[in-house]
Structures are given as C-alpha cells and as structure tokens.
Amino acid sequence: MGKSRTTDDTRIFDLPIHRSSRWIFNCYVIEGDAGESVIIDPGLASTAEGALRHLRSVGRGVDQLHSICTHGHVDHLNGMPILRDSAGARSYLPARCERYLKGESPRTFGHKVAMRFFPMVAQQPFALSTLGELARADGSIGFGGSSHEFQFPYAPDGFVGEGGSLPGASRWKVLEVPGHSDDSICFYDSVTCTLISGDAVLTHNGRAWFNPEIVDSKASAETEERLRALDVRHLLPGHGLPISGRVWDDAMSFRERPKARGLVARCLRRISG
C-alpha cells in the first residue's frame, strides 16, 4: 500500500499551486497560462484575500485573474464577488448553476445526512472567526444552509462543464462529479496527476474519503468509480489536508465512516447512519 503524506505549506508539494485555508475551508490558487492565475473555491472573504496575497508574494499580478467554484454551496463561492470587485477577476460557475439561475431548485441534504461530515471538523486548526464569516454569508449567496434557492449577485462571465478546460489554466480538465450536489465539478491535470476534488473527495487523517454527505447515492457511486479510475498522485480536497502518493490505495468509500472516537462521535455516527 502506498504511503500518503500531508502538507500545511501554502505552496502545495512541488506544484505551481497554493492553498489559502481558514479552518476546514480550502481555497486553491493555480499559476496558470502565460501570467494568468485561477482561484478555486474562494468560499470566504478571508480565503479570497489570502489567495490574492499568495499571488502577490510569488510575483504574479492579478490583472489576469479567474475565479471558479467547484459547486454552489456558500462555503465555496462567497468570496467570488470580493475577487471581482477588488481585482477584476472573471467569475465562472459549474454548468448546472445556469439552470439554477433560471429557476431550478438545487437538491439539498437534510441535517441527518449533514452529520456524516462531523468527523471533518477537527482535521484543521479551528478558527472562531470563520464561523462568523460563514454565518454572515448564509442565505445571501449560493445555496445550502438556510437557503434552498441559488443566489448569485451578478451575471457570471461563464459556465464550465464536462470535458471543458479550466479558464486561465488550459491543461486542467473539468469533470462533472455529482453526488454531494448535482452541480459538483472537479479539475484534473493529467501531467502532474493532480485532482482538485472540491467536495467530491475529502481527506481524513491522511486518507482520501469520498464524501458521505450526499444528495444522490447512485450518482455518488458512479462518481467514486470514475475518480478511482484516474491516476491521482496529488489530491487537493475542498475540506481536509492535501495528500500525495497512491491516494486511492486506502481511500474510504462514501458508504464508509471513520472509526468513531469518544461518546459524542459514536452517537453522531449512529444518528447519521
């Protein structure tokens, strides 16, 4: 079995990618094509601002900047308007979000399903201010939480879907990976065998974990099968620490749960199923 390793560095492994994280919320910055840069999942104001600082620290301007979310949950796109207003970033949404903007209601999961995510809360250093950011954004943009309709404050510059290239970083291909949500997408670079998985795949204690917090079990099973078939040596999740190595060797399925520790953890595991 291949051993995976984790990183806390803002620059991830030896890749031209940086991470801006607050608690369990990861935002990634790709050094893209010919001076262009891409910010993925700027879910909080603080992660968006941190991403801009990373770009400036490595000498890259922000005049050719793109931002995109892996799905429309508030914790993945709340910082996009900040990037647009402060740096003129072009904004892109997953293809399914175009239907949401035209009135389709996104499917959401209930509290019982949401509790399956509970083991993730201790994976990265806690920040109380992050909870405040998230609470202020809830319902004002995206969907999930208290909002069951998709909200976005301006017209996006485009939508990206299956088989397309990531705007500003053409080597990265877009994969549609429904299950956690119907609009979920992720990004794969076959040259470095790197997957930016959004919430399709998490990491827990150094292991890949296909997200058990889902709206569709059949779609989740198909997504898991599809992603396991990819050669992935670097996994950059929406929640949890990036890992590298033979990441699928000990990966947990979305049907599995980490071993519960303590009374509270065991009770939550029993409640969430």
Tell me whether residue 267 is in a domain: no
DSSP string, the chain: -PPPEE---SB-TTSSEEEEEETTEEEEEEE-GGG-EEEE---SHHHHHHHHHHHHHTT--SSSEEEE-SSSBHHHHTTHHHHHHHH--EEEEETHHHHHHTTPPPP---HHHHGGGGGGGGSS---HHHHHHHHHHTTTSEEETTEEEEE-SS--SEEE-TTPEETTEEEEEEEE--SSSTT-EEEEETTTTEEEEETSEEEETTEEEE----S-HHHHHHHHHHHHTS--SEEEESSS--EESSTTTTPBPTT--PPP-HHHHHHHHHHH-
Q: How many CA atoms are closer than 13 Å to the CA of 208, on its beta-carbon side? A: 29
pLDDT confidence bin for 33, thresholds 50/70/90: very high
Q: Would 258 be classed as within a structural domain?
A: no
Please state, rounded to an integer, the average pLDDT across all residues of the chain.
90
Domain assignment of residue 90, given as a range: 5-244
pLDDT(206) > 70? yes
pLDDT grade, residue 167 (50/70/90)? very high
Count of the separate structural domains present in the chain: 1
| 1-10, 113-122, 212-221, range with the lowest pLDDT | 1-10
Q: Has residue 224 been placed in a domain?
A: yes
On the question of pLDDT at 3 being above 80, the answer is: no
d(CA 23, CA 127): 6
Lowest mean pLDDT among 10-14, 66-70, 245-249: 10-14
Span 171-190, average pLDDT? 98
CATH number, domain with residue 118: 3.60.15.10
- Is 260 a member of any domain? no
Range ranked top by mean pLDDT from 16-25, 94-103, 142-151, 254-263: 94-103
Residue 157 in domain: yes
pLDDT of residue 266: 46
Whether residue 269 is contained in a domain is answered as no
Question: Is a pLDDT exceeding 60 seen at residue 270?
Answer: no
Mean pLDDT of the 68-96 span:
96
- 265 domain-assigned: no
- On the question of pLDDT at 180 being above 90, the answer is yes
Determine if the pTM surpasses 0.85: yes
